[in-house]
Amino acid sequence: MEINSFKDMFVAELQELADVEAQLADALLRLAGAASHPALKRALVHHRAETVTQRERLLTILDKHGANPTAHIDQAMRALVTETKKMLTMLKADDLRDAGLIASAQKIEHYEIAAYGTAAALAGQLDLRDEQKMLHLSLEEEKRFDLLLTRLAKNEVNPDALAA
Ligand SMILES: [Fe+2]
């Protein structure tokens, strides 16, 4: 497929993001199931709900542009999720698994932060202010979740894994 306009590039980025969120909604269920620290489990469940909302925002925008929301499979996300699963099977102890789980989740979050940052900027340059706002909302949620994971890792999960 050829992309010949800035607007079509924007739409293609959103189609990728819609698949990223679909993959992540599945993955977060699995991660929450594998987590032991109650605060980490809660954070993952909470972000799973945000992920569903974020995907709905993307579907709303794609619908406005008459674009197919399942046109793309995001291979980078697929690889990140595969690596996450592999890592989890290698970590047998609960505290260690939680620490590895956060490491994997943060790689995914940083990928999403990059993607939403770009998508929101593209929307702004296209003067699509409502869409820019929606994408910015999702961007802020990703950043908050990432910060929460950093806090959990530093204050609770990693010290426990080190001490075990
Ligand atoms: Fe997300």
pLDDT one-digit tens code per residue, 53-77: 999 999 999 999 999 999 999 999 9
pLDDT at site 164: 81
DSSP state, 66? T
164 C-alpha vs ligand 1 centroid, how far in Å?
32
The whole-number average pLDDT for the span 147-155 is 97
4 C-alpha vs ligand 1 centroid, how far in Å?
27
18 C-alpha vs ligand 1 centroid, how far in Å?
9
Q: Indicate if the pLDDT at residue 82 is higher than 90.
A: yes
3 C-alpha vs ligand 1 centroid, how far in Å?
25
Question: φ, ψ for residue 4 (rounded to 5)?
Answer: -115, 0
Q: Which residue in the block uniquely carries the two structure tokens 């993307």?
A: 58
> Which tokens is 65 given?
């542009």
24 C-alpha vs ligand 1 centroid, how far in Å?
7
d(CA 99, CA 117): 27
d(CA 7, CA 156): 44
Q: Indicate if the pLDDT at residue 1 is higher than 90.
A: no
pLDDT tens per residue, range 86-136? 999 999 999 999 999 999 999 999 999 999 999 999 999 999 999 999 999
| Ion ligand 1: protein residues whose beta carbon lies under 5 Å | 51, 54, 112
pLDDT at site 12: 97
121 C-alpha vs ligand 1 centroid, how far in Å?
17
**Chain mean position to CA 125:** 24
| Closest residue by Cα to residue 27 from 92, 96, 101, 81 | 81
Question: φ, ψ for residue 37 (rounded to 5)?
Answer: -60, 125
112 C-alpha vs ligand 1 centroid, how far in Å?
6
160 C-alpha vs ligand 1 centroid, how far in Å?
28
Note the pTM of the prediction, 2 decimals: 0.95
